[in-house]
Amino acid sequence: MSNLESTEYNFRFKDGVLGAQMLFVAFGALVLVPLLSGLDPNVALFTAGLGTLAFQLITRGRVPIFLASSFAFIAPITFGVKEWGIEGTMCGLFAAGVLYILLSLIIRWRGNEALARVLPPVVTGPVIMVIGLFLAPVAVNMSMGLGGDASVVLAPPKAAAIAALVALTTTVLVSLLGKGWFRLIPILCGILAGYLTAYILDASGFTASAFNEFMTERAAKEAAGAVLLPTLASDHLINFQIVREASWFGVPNFSFPSWGNWNWAAVFYIVPVAIAPAIEHFGDVIAISGITGKNYVKDPGIKNTMLGDGVATSLAALFGGPPNTTYSEVSGAVALTRAFNPAVMTWASIAAILLAFVGKLGGLLQSVPTPVMGGIMVLLFGAITTIGINTLVKAGHDLMLPRNMAVVGIILVVGIGGLTVPLSAPINALGDIMGMEISISKLQMGGIGLAGIVGVLLNLVLPCKDCNE
């Protein structure tokens, strides 16, 4: 085993590039969450780095995990900022971190044995698969020049597909055939190859030609009465304007919770949303355990990883950043590069904090075309799905047994099929009980969080005769 593949913490200056590679992987989602929810992306960079460092301190540098902006909170943050302002919303986000801390105390009290009964491989395996498969459309959409949620066109599809394919192919080839140092940075190589391809497509006029063709087809469809997605596409894939306009140095726009006027309405509105990323936390810790071959559920224990996640989220709220969560795409990058040394995440954290204050570097990262990152994500989310399958295989479960088939099958369909459960009515009712005016609509739970909760409940209530548990 190489020094890099060792799971022991070993901080070395030469691993700085590997840390930057991990930040590259996380960067798109990291800054997208604050952009969509009305927060400062530079603050999100700072709080992601700070939160990951706090997580490493609490887990004693044992787990190679990177924490950053959580997508689960986009809707509640957006509503909260409009309703109560950033300061009021931060009260709710701080409380979400406290919920994680309380969960960690419960786990510490009940022990890992109780946790293993609630979350056996027949539950965690398909939940990990859902993490990868649920995010798969995001990767494909980005590769085809769309936004991750397919709500907007960002680039001409033909040019986007070429850049994404080059990035994906390069990453796969370097991971398979790379020698020495190159074997450790396949993702960075893929990003550079995709970026260079995008530059060539722009410089040669191919992107402009593809854009004109795309707009001509779009005009014809609109004339025929078709309803189309809004478009932000242009005649180039790389936007150097972001780099030119960015300042060399600047302090992020930090905001702080309204301590003197604590907003309980925001607390009761946001805290229930934290259940979903809490469930995802279990899946991500088990996934990284499968990647490295080390049981992080026992050492440092879910009690400490959950505590670290909670402290990271509350810390983020203290500075006006979005809640932090474990990043599955970074775990996929760890699987691909076999960079098991947790100190690599320390470097990623340091890079994130520095980028929060150095605008030009942040602008350069933001200039990486979305399709290039989409091509990389195709591989990384596929890797996460494979880890979930491997969790079931290693556990030796017979999936043809009716109980196992029911648990696994329902988790997959609920998680991938788009089932949602409304949370608006219960939260509004809770506000009435507490004597607070909370009027919200269209707040739902679905995806990974709902799949995890359904899986836990099925595992607890279904009879377990000859089910290989």
Sign of CA dihedral 293, 20, 302, 270: negative
Pairwise CA distance, residues 46 & 356, whole Å: 5
What the block records as the tokens of 280 is 């995802």
pTM of the model: 0.71
**338: burial class by Cβ within 10 Å (0-12, 13-18, 19+)?**
middle
C-alpha dist (Å) from residue 388 to 115, 306, 456: 18, 20, 16
pLDDT of residue 423: 63
Pairwise CA distance, residues 411 & 403, whole Å: 12
User: Residue type at 240?
Assistant: F
**294: burial class by Cβ within 10 Å (0-12, 13-18, 19+)?**
middle
Helix ranges (DSSP H) in 358-423: 359-366, 370-395, 402-417
Residue in this structure with the two tokens 């930090």, named with its chain if needed: 254
- The four Cα atoms 109, 111, 114, 119 give a dihedral, to 10 degrees, of 110
Q: How many CA atoms lie within 13 A of 230 on its CB side?
A: 5
Helix ranges (DSSP H) in 12-153: 16-37, 41-58, 74-110, 112-118, 121-143
C-alpha dist (Å) from residue 171 to 16, 294, 379: 19, 26, 8
Sign of CA dihedral 56, 61, 62, 65: positive
Q: How many CA atoms lie within 13 A of 421 on its CB side?
A: 18
pLDDT of residue 218: 83
**pLDDT, one tens digit for every residue, the chain (469 residues):** 455 567 888 888 888 888 988 998 887 778 777 866 778 888 999 999 999 999 999 999 999 999 998 877 876 787 788 778 888 889 989 999 998 999 899 888 877 677 777 778 888 888 888 878 887 888 899 899 888 777 788 888 899 999 999 999 998 998 888 776 677 678 788 888 999 999 999 999 898 898 888 888 888 888 888 777 787 778 888 888 877 887 788 788 888 877 777 778 788 778 777 777 777 788 788 889 988 989 898 889 889 999 999 999 999 999 999 999 888 788 888 888 888 999 999 999 999 999 889 877 767 777 888 899 889 888 878 887 887 888 888 888 888 888 989 999 999 999 888 887 776 555 555 555 555 555 555 556 667 778 888 888 998 898 876 655 4
SS3 420: strand
Terminal Cα distance for the chain, rounded: 33
